[in-house]
Amino acid sequence: MTLIKSISGIRGTIGGEPGDNLTPLDAVKFASAYAKWLKNASGKINPVVVIGRDARLSGSMIQSLVQNTLVGMGCDIIDLGLSTTPTVEIAVPKENADGGIILTASHNPKQWNALKLLNNKGEFLDGVEGQKILDTAEAEDFDYVEVDDLGKVTKIDDYIQKHISDVLAMPITDNESIKNAGFKVVVDGVNSTGGIAIPQLCRELGVEVVELYCDPTGHFPHNPEPLKEHLTDLSDAVKKHKADFGITVDPDVDRLAFMDENGEMFGEEYTLVACADYILGLKKGNTVSNLSSSRALRDVTEKHGGEYHAAAVGEVNVVQKMKDVNAVIGGEGNGGIIYPDSHYGRDALVGVAMFLSLLSRKRIKVSELRASYPAYFMSKNKVQLVKGMPVDDILKKIEEKYASEELTTIDGVKIDFADEWVHLRKSNTEPIIRVYTEADSQEKADDLGERFVGELNEIAEQFK
């Protein structure tokens, strides 16, 4: 059982003992801390908070606990009910709210849930503000209001439709071209809120939809992380129904992956590449992804005359870098698309509209689109360390050893070789170093990963 506290919120498994898992007591404590921070940040006695959740089994319970705790702290609530992470993010500024909470553990299995915390822009909190909430929760330093000052709850149950309408109205969404293309797709909604949002969006764009696991029961039919090994049913369905491609999302609909007409993965890394290719074809500009994302984005960006920039891992870091360099699109290699003209958050609905627009204009198959991009292959490994071992010192040794190479040290150590790269970064929650590599063949990526796992283990031996 696990409880992970970070600047972006609290995440854990349901049940067990308080402090070690996401129990009702933990949910109440962190909701209370967020409410206190929000009252201080907004200067309001009754700040407004937007709340939405994915369909996981514990969602209703956690929402009741969090929502009524906020009411007890004097916050007014806008309850979106079943929703998506990007839907809550756009709702916060639309409703002139002071903050938002998304109740979802993203791609984690059904026993997990989490509180994701937003500011008044509908964006994740930065490190400074997030730490204030963690400190307040740890100290249990909060006071609840008296009965006359309790907050109020307002329910709005059509925000997914509002979100869809916004996506359809984006100037970059080529509604006519998509409708004329006559696409047929299979959508795997992993029995969460993507099963509501994605089929509805596609149908309003004139796309024929075959639904697979689109009933938002919270009973995930497979591991909800949208990786190839979890999506055999989608692959079979795409081939069975002779669909043009498949679409899958994670439970809170901020990660997006595609499958081609042959039932083969387009590649999560290439979701952002394709969407950036489309946007950069409409307007020149810069792009951003995190250090562990594919080099293919850099190649596509430079092909269009823009500049690529890398950010530290984490959505809040990508967003800040996008603002710094005025990027026209950015995101993460896990299938997260961030389009500033919509909002600064990963949004699978926006990504679907971009992908459909690109494909309808190019008039090619999804497999042909994938083949048009640079071919890179990734390998992901980790080095297990003894607890208490000086991870920063180990990474410093690597940095010194490869000082003559192109290095980036804003988040661990990334070494860019001519035809491949390796990114070494420490975990925030366990004593491991993650080893991500990319090359122009899977064999080279795997070999590079094994090489650096070996080097890290050798250096670690020196600190035992």
Length of the chain: 464
pLDDT for residue 407 is more than 70: yes
Mean pLDDT, residues 335-358: 98
pLDDT tens column, 244-300: 999 999 999 999 999 999 999 999 999 999 999 999 999 999 999 999 999 999 999
Residue with tokens 């998506």: 84
Average pLDDT for the chain: 95
Residue 426: CA count within 13 A, CB half-sphere: 19
One DSSP character per residue, 174-210 reads -HHHHHHHT-EEEEE-TTSTHHHHHHHHHHHTT-EEE
Q: With cut-offs at 50, 70 and 90, classify the pLDDT of residue 349.
A: very high
**The pair of three-digit structure tokens given for residue 451, joined into one six-digit string:** 């090489």
Q: Catalogue all structural domains in the chain, each as residue range(s) with its CATH number.
A: 3-156 (3.40.120.10), 162-371 (3.40.120.10), 377-461 (3.30.310.50)
Q: Which residue has tokens 């926006």?
A: 350
Q: What is the pLDDT of residues 166-201, one digit of tens each?
A: 999 999 999 999 999 999 999 999 999 999 999 999
Distance (Å, rounded) from C-alpha 354 to C-alpha 91? 21
Phi-psi domain of 253 (left: phi exceeds 0; alpha: psi -120 through 50; beta: other): left
pLDDT tens column, 84-130: 999 999 999 999 999 999 999 999 999 999 999 999 999 999 989 99
User: Predicted confidence band at 243 (pLDDT cuts at 50, 70, 90)?
Assistant: very high
Half-sphere exposure of 433 (CA within 13 A, CB side): 32
Taking Cα atoms as reference points, which of 148, 155, 132, 184 lies closest to residue 50? 155
* Choice among 19-23, 202-206, 275-279 with the minimum mean pLDDT: 19-23
Instruction: Enter the tokens of residue 442.
Output: 């899977």
8 Å CB contact between 186 and 108: no
Q: Please give the Cα distance from 358 to 352 (Å, whole number).
A: 10
Active site residues: 106
Residue 1 has pLDDT above 70, yes or no: no
